[in-house]
Amino acid sequence: MTRRQTSRPAAASLATMLAATLLLTGCATTGSGIAPTPVVTDDRPLSELTLYPDPSDVEGPTTAVLPNEAIEPIAVDPTVSLPVTVTSYDSDGEVSVEVADASRVLALDLAGSIAATVWGLGLGDRLVGRDTSTTFEGTADLPLVTSSGHTINAEAVIALRPTLVLTDGTIGPRDVLEQLRQVGVTVVFLDNEPTFDGAAQLARDVGSALGAPAAGEVLAAALEAEVAATVAEIAEILPADEALRPRVIFLYLRGSSGIYYLFGEGSGADQLIAGLGGIDVAAELGWSGERPMTDEALIAADPDVILVMTDGLESVGGVDALLAAKPAIALTHAGQNRRFVDMADGDVLSFGPRSAAVLDALARAVYAVPS
């Protein structure tokens, strides 16, 4: 469908448009389940793939997948020297924390980035449990210490007898983590910024907390180089005509909870969209952080591509069920084209050792014709 050059609909007509769209989309779903979406499986360099001539006007969904879920450590047995004193970013300010024992580690955060970083440093054998978002290869058998999504189970944590908990406070309750100190567990709150630069700094900070600062520096340098190379490779395949660059938003979905959030500046989604060379329409709207989606905002954004998490899309019943439930989405160019790109929840916003691979996988889904 050729992209429409439309202006923002008047408020008076918005309700009418939504009602009409609801009638059109209400019969789109079937009871046969969610159909699988195409995947780009060709592992050749991006420049050698068959590319869409106009990535802003592609019909149908695509799933972005990593070539594998493994994280290759930068060292087999990095040098560790303890004790060390590091900065912890507690809720009441910065405090100095001494780490004397890092033999049994829990790494907990919303995106699974901290555990991935521990693994990338070559210290994955220290991990004794995991959070819901830690899904990379080698962690499936680790006990899960989060329940009901991202809520930490204090009893499960204590039962694992961790000597060190590394977290950024994005899962909680936070007071549970702080109370672990009362039973003798060392807890370090890290400053984990959801950016590519933040992933490199996280490598340095986690390396320092584990007594392996040299390994942290090596991993940080590797991440920076890999992301820079991938961004450059993506830039080479972007349409010469900037008008053909796709307008992209990130939509966070949890149908069981009725959650529909647009992710904007500072959420990490902005970094992905910039790395993909797309037009960040949330930035155009001045959208920051993670905020509930409104019909007006989504229609004003009028994206060409909507990025979502795979489990989130499944939670609303798939593309057609989402369009039926949220007719404002169906009014957008992406909605009319059913143009959604989904990626595994534990991968897409996991800034860390796999950042470059995540960008590459998303670029293949956005720009390349599925093989």
Residues 340 and 251 in one domain: yes
Looking at the 3D structure of the chain, how many domains does it have? 2
In a domain, 50, yes or no: yes
In a domain, 131, yes or no: yes
pLDDT, tens digit (0-9, with 9 covering 90-100), for 1-37: 555 444 444 433 444 444 444 444 343 333 334 556 7
pLDDT at residue 36 in the model: 62
Residues 256 and 314 in one domain: yes
Residues 98 and 143 in one domain: yes
More confident residue, 71 or 23: 71
pLDDT at residue 8 in the model: 40
In a domain, 3, yes or no: no
Residues 37 and 156 in one domain: no
pLDDT at residue 3 in the model: 53
Those residues with Cβ within 8 angstroms of residue 1's Cβ, 6 or more apart along the chain or in another chain: 57, 59, 333, 336, 337
In a domain, 231, yes or no: no
- Distance of alpha carbon 210 from alpha carbon 188, whole angstroms: 11
- Distance of alpha carbon 171 from alpha carbon 290, whole angstroms: 15
Q: Can the peptide bond before residue 327 be classed as cis, meaning omega within 30 degrees of 0?
A: no
Q: Can the peptide bond before residue 83 be classed as cis, meaning omega within 30 degrees of 0?
A: yes
Residues 200 and 250 in one domain: no
More confident residue, 29 or 196: 196
Which run of H or of E encompasses 261?
strand 259-263
In a domain, 295, yes or no: yes
In a domain, 23, yes or no: yes
Give me the chain's average pLDDT, please: 89
Residues 196 and 261 in one domain: no
Residues 30 and 98 in one domain: no
Q: Among 194, 211, 228, give the residue marking a domain's end.
A: 211
pLDDT, tens digit (0-9, with 9 covering 90-100), for 280-321: 999 998 988 998 988 998 898 899 999 999 999 999 999 999
Residues 146 and 60 in one domain: no
Which run of H or of E encompasses 119?
helix 113-120
Q: Count other Cβ atoms within 10 Å, centred on residue 261.
A: 17
Residues 43 and 96 in one domain: no
Residues spanned by the domain of 35: 11-69+239-367
Q: What is the CATH number of the domain that holds 199?
A: 3.40.50.1980
In a domain, 116, yes or no: yes
- Distance of alpha carbon 142 from alpha carbon 138, whole angstroms: 8
pLDDT, tens digit (0-9, with 9 covering 90-100), for 333-364: 999 999 999 999 989 999 999 999 999 999 99
Residues 25 and 97 in one domain: no
In a domain, 222, yes or no: no
Q: Among 166, 193, 211, give the residue marking a domain's end.
A: 211
Residues 64 and 93 in one domain: no
Q: What is the 3-state secondary structure (H, E, C) of 276-337?
A: CCCEEHHHHCCCECEEECCHHHHHHHCCCEEEEEHHHHHHCCCHHHHHHHCHHHHCCHHHHH
Residues 305 and 354 in one domain: yes
Predicted structure pTM score: 0.88
Beta-sheet pairing, 164-167 with 62-64: unpaired
Q: Average pLDDT for residues 57-84, to the nearest whole number?
A: 95
